[in-house]
Amino acid sequence: MNESFDDALSELERSGGQLESLGDFFVDRFPVTGAAVSTVGDVLGSETISATDAVAARLDELQFDLGEGPCWEAMRTSAAVLEPEFRRRGVSRWPAFASAVADRVEVASMFAFPLSVGEIRMGAVDLYSIEPVALTPRECTLARVMADVVSRHVLRDALSDFTDSDAQTGIYSRRTVHQATGIVLAQLDIDPDDALLMLQARAFSTGQRVMEVAQAVVDGTLRFSRTSGGIEAGS
């Protein structure tokens, strides 16, 4: 990564409380017309969190209504979805969505990058262009890194009302969560805030208390590891 992108990434990491502006970071740094950040599916529901313009918002709405499109594919596969020739090939990939888009807006290219934290697949960043464009391999890598940062912002916001009294009271409870955070930090080579987020995400997705997840990590019955598809938790 170059210094300019490092600066942009640092700015994005600091923007967590301003979810509505997250799409702007992608439009500013990639050759696209607009962007939207959205959650889709059962985990956080289907909602547009950030849209840079009315077209980006409309593309999200169509995907929500039809249950298909780049953001759904990115979320389900946990992989980047690249369609630089949307007008020609979109209808074969997403028949209903592409037909609906053709009737309403001019879109030449679409790209989507998944939003996920650990085992939670929650949505995608959608990018579109009114002119045919292609993203280079480097641009795709950078967009995926940015989407990972956005994922953490979105999940932290969703977890803001997710409290766990057992994890917040008592010296031994706090010590267990702290110890588990350190273990996850070492397993994944991430910073302490993200390690704690992994514990919270696991608790959120499984319906457990954070304390239960932390105890399982400390006991060694739950371990986080990196795979080709992202981060998984298992015994």
Q: Which CATH number fits domain 164-234: 1.20.120, 1.10.10, 1.10.287, 1.10.730?
A: 1.10.10
Q: How far is CA 57 from CA 17, 32, 221, in A?
A: 20, 15, 43
3-state SS assignment for residue 235: coil
Q: What is the pLDDT of residue 167?
A: 47
Helices 171-188 and 210-219: angle between axes, nearest 10 degrees: 60
Q: What is the distance between the alpha carbons of residues 83 and 46, in angstroms, rounded to a whole number?
A: 22
List every span in the chain annotated with CATH 1.10.10.
Answer: 164-234
164-217: pLDDT as tens digits:
444 455 555 678 888 898 898 888 888 888 888 888 888 887 888 888 889 999
The neighbour count for residue 18, using CB atoms within 10 Å, is: 11
Q: Is the pTM of this model over 0.85?
A: no
The residue type of 73 is: E
Q: Are 125 and 26 in contact (CB under 8 A)?
A: yes
Q: Are 108 and 88 in contact (CB under 8 A)?
A: no
List every span in the chain annotated with CATH 3.30.450.40.
Answer: 3-159
Q: Are 55 and 48 in contact (CB under 8 A)?
A: no
Q: What is the pLDDT of residue 165?
A: 47
34-92: pLDDT as tens digits:
999 999 987 788 899 999 999 999 999 999 999 999 999 999 999 999 999 999 999 99
The two structure tokens encoding residue 49: 């969190």
Superfamily of domain 3-159: GAF domain (3.30.450.40)
Judge whether residue 17 has pLDDT over 80. no
Which residues are within 8 A (CB) of 190 and not within 5 positions of it... i.e. 6 or more apart?
A: 184, 198
